[in-house]
Amino acid sequence: MTPAGQLQSVIELVETILSLSKKPADAVMQSYFRNRRYIGSSDRRSIGDSVYSVLRNTQGLQAALAITTPRLLVFAHCILDKHDTLGELQYLCGEGYGPPPLSNEEQQILSDLKPYNPFAIPKWLEAHMKDQALIKSLHDQAPVDIRVNSLKNNRDAILTLLKLEGFEVTATPMSPLGVRFGKRQPMNTHELWEDGTLEVQDEASQIVSLLCDAKPGMQVLDYCAGAGGKSLSLAATMQNKGNLILSDIHPHRLQRAKERLRRAGVTTYQLKDIVKDNSWFKRQHNRFDRVLVDAPCTGTGTWRRNPDLKNRLQPIDLEELTSLQQKILDQAQQFVKPGGRLMYVTCSVLEAENNQQVAWLLNKYPQLKPISINEVWRETIGTPCPFSTPTAQFTPNIHGTDGFFVSIFERIG
């Protein structure tokens, strides 16, 4: 593929991603490449890297431009980040399979580019995110973390095997189940992937599942299960003994979870549609030993992996999400039996979604008692806990993970 063709693909993808406010960037790219089989793997990697760089820097690039269009964002990225010259871009534009030629107005705008802050975030978020070290760390590229399915194998054996195969891997520092790759590797065709031994899961997400302390024989409800990422971990710690319920309002996500559970060797589970199975939920009050609420949130803690979220997020989204989180907690807390635990989790770094929601929950439900993360960490993981606070806020700059928030409550008898 020619450089001109690559450039045009980057422009087309950025334009599509920015116009489809609800569709994740990785899904857009998968669809784009699926419909263009002629684009080879090295070209896909180069195009994908450029697209994510533009998305990661969109806020700053917009400030550098007098007028913003997807084309101009890509061209500004080429000049300011890749250090291409305007003349080089003009040469690529108009060439076969390349972008249309630059207009006189575009040339003038690109000639007047201003320096920009690569760590810029939306203005309205500055009141919620003041930690500059955190903001900068969310701009970095995330590592690839894999969880070893303990129903299939153990981490030490997998680490040895992967190293013998030439992979650059290390043990994750906090999770006893995690493997971290030194560079991105195509693992989706590896036999350990296909047989369910390995699953992509950020280290903080692995820790969340372990802190749930779901033991064999327990009744466990993953209330916002989605595609089942944490349910897979819960099933492993339960050793396929007990009853694991995956529930969600999106049936297609539960069907995807079903396939992942089958591949992982999980047998003791049920899928429940929160809307369709409403009458079933009405009979489940005070039933569960563990209820996990991995709540819908802004996803600010995942910007390293999903930089497009930063560009789509609006103030109304935060307002609607915090209201939704409280509604979900209202529903979920009633399923916890006396002596059972409720776990509230987000992949956000915003206090409005995290500790402020904890305060709201404790004020409304005095029968819920907060449990210190330190105490549960000692019981479940057995290593020194990196948190001195009752709740846990994982961040990339301190813990090398995605931004995850964790809080745990016990229902008083």
- List, in sequence order, every residue forming a beta bridge with 302; answer none if it has no partner: none
Q: What is the C-alpha separation between 114 and 80, in angstroms, rounded?
A: 9
Q: What is the C-alpha separation between 201 and 135, in angstroms, rounded?
A: 22
176 within 8 A of 155, measured Cβ to Cβ: yes
The question of whether 212 is a catalytic residue gets the answer: no
Give the residue from 300, 325, 323 showing the smallest Cα distance to 124.
300
Vertex 221 angle, CA 215 and 225, to 5° = 115
Q: What is the C-alpha separation between 213 and 382, in angstroms, rounded?
A: 12
Q: What is the C-alpha separation between 378 and 406, in angstroms, rounded?
A: 15
273 within 8 A of 248, measured Cβ to Cβ: yes
Q: Which residues contact 151 (CB under 8 A, 6 or more apart)?
A: 235, 236, 239, 240, 264, 265, 266
Vertex 64 angle, CA 59 and 68, to 5° = 70
Which helix (H) or strand (E) element contains residue 270? strand 269-273
The single residue of 93, 212, 224, 347 carrying the catalytic annotation is 347
Catalytic residues: 347
